Amino acid sequence: MGKRVASAKALAAFTMSLTDEQALVIVDEPGKVQEFLEERARWIAENTFVIPLSDEEAVQLLIQWKGYTEEQATAKVRVWRIYAQKMGYTGPVVWKVKAGFSLKSHAPAAGPCYQNLQYLQGWELKNDEPTKDSLVFWVPRLVEGSLNKNGTQMETLRAEQRNAHELPSNHCDCFGSIDLLFALILAHYKRDGKRVPLDCKYAASDTLLVVGLRLVAGGFDGVGASCDGWLGNAGAGVGFFLLGVEELGSPATPAGE
């Protein structure tokens, strides 16, 4: 699910770009080239933590892993697709997230980050939580009207937005850990080159610094995505994303069986 396949056109274009010397390496030492490719493919697989899903793939995984009926799973995906359309977004609305992605260890390797996030390696986090195996419903657009609000006002708006868009009752109950937000933002950038939040704004997370500041993700410009601490005050260019997190355990027995 969500598996990419190299097109014949892309492979042909790559072959045409090789010099004669490079092409001869493939011809003369195919075993070594294959060994390198296998090792690289293994590294990429181990370090890929977020995979965008089609709506159909998301429905099947919800049935397989969460035990929803096809009707229930389809309804969950459908309401998020409707929300995405209202937000002017046509890309994936469900993302398969693998456990273990952390801000400090993995974000700099996942995509462009300001100063490779070296400036925050010594920050003490109060509730740092790497990603968990999950299906995450996410539209990469800040909630309308979420800017220029404090933390409490954001929580109120979050509940209002869930009800207004008739999203599932077990969704939109968090802002997401800073680890999850960076994993999603960088996966979205890898997929289509778009930097979110748009206009270099920031998205609030649930992760706090020991000193009390809330971490925010964004400021994504030409030098990369940034992480910063936020006092929680209004008017600071900070909004939030709606998220629906369905944690995965073992494959479930479908309802009715």
Q: How far apart are CA 220 and CA 202, in angstroms?
A: 8
Q: Are strands 238-239 and 202-208 parallel, antiparallel or unpaired?
A: parallel
Same domain, 34 and 150: no
Is position 66 within any domain? Answer: yes
| Residue 219 parent element (H or E) | strand 214-221
Is position 256 within any domain? Answer: no
Same domain, 29 and 62: no
Domain that holds residue 38: 8-46
Q: For 1-10, 14-23, 73-82, 246-255, which range has the lowest pLDDT when averaged over its residues?
A: 1-10
User: Average model confidence (pLDDT) for the chain?
Assistant: 91
Q: How far apart are CA 146 and CA 168, in angstroms?
A: 20
**Residue 256 — pLDDT band, cuts 50, 70, 90?**
very low
Same domain, 114 and 144: yes
| Residue 64 parent element (H or E) | helix 55-66
pLDDT at 1: 56
pLDDT at 172 over 50: yes
Same domain, 210 and 89: yes
Q: For 16-20, 59-63, 117-121, 224-228, which range has the lowest pLDDT when averaged over its residues?
A: 16-20
Same domain, 130 and 17: no
Same domain, 114 and 24: no
Over the stretch 178-229, which tens digit does the pLDDT of each residue have? 999 999 999 999 999 999 999 999 999 999 999 999 999 999 999 999 999 9
Same domain, 129 and 162: yes
Q: Tell me, what amino acid is at 158?
A: R
Same domain, 109 and 216: yes
**Residue 253 — pLDDT band, cuts 50, 70, 90?**
low
Q: How many domains does the chain have?
A: 2
Same domain, 61 and 178: yes
Is position 254 within any domain? Answer: no
pLDDT at 118: 97
| Token code pair at residue 141 | 């657009």
pTM of the predicted structure, to 2 decimals: 0.87
Same domain, 221 and 209: yes
pLDDT at 63 over 50: yes
Percent of the chain at pLDDT > 70 equals: 92
Is position 157 within any domain? Answer: yes
